[in-house]
């Protein structure tokens, strides 16, 4: 047991990242049933769809689970009302200012965790009363920060400046990476890509197979003039690079991105023109596995690596 397992009432300090088009009720409940903390990713859900996933998740697990909520949506108030009405007890907020909704959520008995990729917002999150912080490194998939801080550098920096529990995200898909993150100062880890490629992920099978095939040079942080996002390389990515190299404006890039690109890729399976958000760690993911097997494998490796350390004597 540690601060993170106690905070959420879970067995292992493993949180499944809330990911658009991947983390519906099936993934979240499977992670919670396997001893981690599952999160329904509200980012790709209309309010009533979110309610449906919450109801199904409650039916599928008796263990704690939560909702990941990006704070930038126009109908965010509706999402928040549903979260409160449905009695959700854990909310991870991201992509916005933690000061805005933390007090309301806390008043409703909800544990709040804010996801950020720099030191400033980690400190701000603690100031406004969140229960824990997720610090997300440059290697993570999806939207990411301007500072480009890697997990190796970010975690010790944040650990040194906050006293609430710290969760490390970015680059973690194995027991050895989990152990490394905890040595750097994290109390738990958030895992995205590995679960995006799990059997219970709602991503399209084409996308899961693409993750399994990924190599060391398959992803890149892109669209930095809009909001930086780590993408898998494909035809769409090539068009972004071409535009960026000639100094394309924000407006041009926004038009190139268009609407619903992520859905097209990750949910509908268009591997050429879709937006495929995934982490660097995809290079180490070699099979689509059931969630329970993933978590068991990670914990087995975590404990094995810990024992091996005893032989490191200098």
Instruction: Provide the binding-site residues for a second copy, judged by CB under 8 A.
Output: 1-2, 5, 11-13, 118-120, 137-139, 146-154, 156-157, 160, 170-172, 174, 176-177, 179-185, 215-217, 220-221, 225, 245-248, 279-281, 283-284, 299, 302-303, 305-306, 309-310, 312, 314
B/e letters for 28-42, b = 16+ CB within 10 Å, e = fewer, are: bbbbbbbbbbbbbbb
Answer yes or no: are the C-beta atoms of 143 and 115 closer than 8 Å: no
Q: Which is nearer to a second copy, 122 or 130 (CB)?
A: 122
**Cβ 137 to a second copy shortest distance, Å:** 7
**Cβ 167 to a second copy shortest distance, Å:** 15
Answer yes or no: are the C-beta atoms of 97 and 76 closer than 8 Å: no
Q: Which is nearer to a second copy, 10 or 40 (CB)?
A: 10
**Cβ 74 to a second copy shortest distance, Å:** 29
Q: Which is nearer to a second copy, 138 or 195 (CB)?
A: 138
Q: How many CA atoms lie less than 13 Å away from 196 in the CB half-sphere?
A: 34
**Cβ 245 to a second copy shortest distance, Å:** 6
Q: Which is nearer to a second copy, 97 or 150 (CB)?
A: 150
Radius of gyration of the chain (CA): 18
**Cβ 72 to a second copy shortest distance, Å:** 21
Q: 62: which 2 tokens? A: 């008796």
Q: Which is nearer to a second copy, 183 or 205 (CB)?
A: 183
**Cβ 205 to a second copy shortest distance, Å:** 24
**Cβ 303 to a second copy shortest distance, Å:** 8
Burial label for 12, CB within 10 Å (0-12, 13-18, 19+), is buried
Q: Which is nearer to a second copy, 195 or 267 (CB)?
A: 195
Nearest CA among 196, 130, 195, 191 for reference residue 162: 130
Run of H or E residues at 120:
helix 119-127
- State the Cα–Cα distance between residues 226 and 249, nearest whole angstrom: 10
Q: Which is nearer to a second copy, 72 or 309 (CB)?
A: 309
Answer yes or no: are the C-beta atoms of 105 and 120 closer than 8 Å: no
CA atoms 69, 98, 282, 297: torsion sign: negative
């Amino acid at each position: 047991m540690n601060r993170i397992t106690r905070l959420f009432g879970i067995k292992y300090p493993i949180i499944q990242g809330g990911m658009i088009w991947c983390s519906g009720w099936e993934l979240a409940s499977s992670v919670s049933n396997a001893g981690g903390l599952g999160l329904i990713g509200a980012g790709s859900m209309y309010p009533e769809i979110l309610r449906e996933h919450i109801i199904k998740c409650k039916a599928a697990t008796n263990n704690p689970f939560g909702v990941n909520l990006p704070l930038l949506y126009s109908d965010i108030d509706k999402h928040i009302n549903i979260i409160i009405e449905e009695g959700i007890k854990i909310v991870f907020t991201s992509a916005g200012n933690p000061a805005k909704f933390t007090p309301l959520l806390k008043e409703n008995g909800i544990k709040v965790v804010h996801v950020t990729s720099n030191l400033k917002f980690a400190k701000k999150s603690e100031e406004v009363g969140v229960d824990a912080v997720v610090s997300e490194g440059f290697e993570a998939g999806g939207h990411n920060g301007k500072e480009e801080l890697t997990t190796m550098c970010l975690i010790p920096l944040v650990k040194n400046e906050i006293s609430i529990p710290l969760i490390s995200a970015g680059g973690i898909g194995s027991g050895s990476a989990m152990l490394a993150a905890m040595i750097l100062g994290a109390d738990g880890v958030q895992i995205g890509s590995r679960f995006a490629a799990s059997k219970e992920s709602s991503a399209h099978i084409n996308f899961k197979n693409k993750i399994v095939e990924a190599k060391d040079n398959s992803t890149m942080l892109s669209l930095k003039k809009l909001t930086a996002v780590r993408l898998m390389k494909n035809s769409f990515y090539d068009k972004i690079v071409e535009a960026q190299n000639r100094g394309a404006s924000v407006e041009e890039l926004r038009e190139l991105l268009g609407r619903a690109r992520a859905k097209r890729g990750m949910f509908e399976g268009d591997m050429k023109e879709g937006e495929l958000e995934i982490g660097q760690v995809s290079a180490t993911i070699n099979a689509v596995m059931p969630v329970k097997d993933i978590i068991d494998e990670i914990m087995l490796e975590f404990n094995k690596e810990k024992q091996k350390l005893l032989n490191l004597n200098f």
